[in-house]
């Protein structure tokens, strides 16, 4: 899988309640937010790819929306530049600031990764 977005956002984890780095990754076929402390993972699946206006897919009513920015290579305009990464409780969007091309992902499932578990 190609890299698209990789980010860290420091916040209080909804699961372990530690103030810790949440590791955010997005590629064209999916997106994830993983707690660096406990491994709590929220996974998102792609819904729409389209040109949008800023804020088009941001739904009001979510108490905790993360507004982040990451440099990425746009598949639409082929420019490497800032993309707005907006993560809400139900959706996840990545939007190219140059051309407005937006990946909208929908929340799919939540699970706990256990990286500390010894294998075997």
Q: Tell me the longest C-alpha to C-alpha distance in the chain.
A: 50
CB 11 within 8 A of CB 19: yes
Structure tokens at 113: 């990764």
Part in contact with Zn ion (CB under 5 A); list of ranges 23-31, 39-47, 58-66, 87-95: 39-47
* The two three-digit tokens of residue 98, written as one number: 């140059």
Residue 34: CB minimum distance to Zn ion, A: 9
Residue 5 interacts with Zn ion (CB under 5 A)?
A: no
What Cα–Cα distance (Å) separates residue 75 from each residue in 30, 40, 41, 99, 101?
Answer: 15, 30, 26, 10, 8
Residue 11 binding Zn ion, by CB under 5 A: no
Task: Provide the residue count of the chain.
Answer: 120
Q: Does 13 bind Zn ion (CB under 5 A)?
A: yes
Of 26-34, 58-66, 95-103, 105-113, the segment contacting Zn ion by CB under 5 A is 95-103
72 binds Zn ion, rule: CB under 5 A: no
Binding positions for Zn ion, rule: CB under 5 A:
13, 15-16, 35, 37-38, 40, 74, 76-77, 96, 98-99, 101
């Amino acid at each position: 899988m190609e890299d698209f977005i990789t980010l860290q956002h420091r916040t209080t984890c909804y699961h372990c309640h530690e103030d810790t780095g949440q590791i955010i990754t997005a590629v064209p076929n999916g997106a994830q937010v993983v707690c660096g402390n406990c491994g709590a993972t929220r996974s998102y699946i792609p819904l729409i790819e389209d040109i949008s206006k800023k804020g088009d897919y941001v739904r009001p009513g979510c108490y905790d929306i993360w507004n982040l920015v990451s440099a990425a290579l746009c598949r639409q305009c082929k420019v490497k530049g800032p993309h707005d990464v907006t993560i809400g409780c139900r959706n996840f969007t990545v939007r190219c600031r140059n051309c407005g091309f937006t990946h909208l992902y929908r929340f799919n499932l939540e699970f706990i990764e256990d990286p500390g578990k010894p294998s075997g």
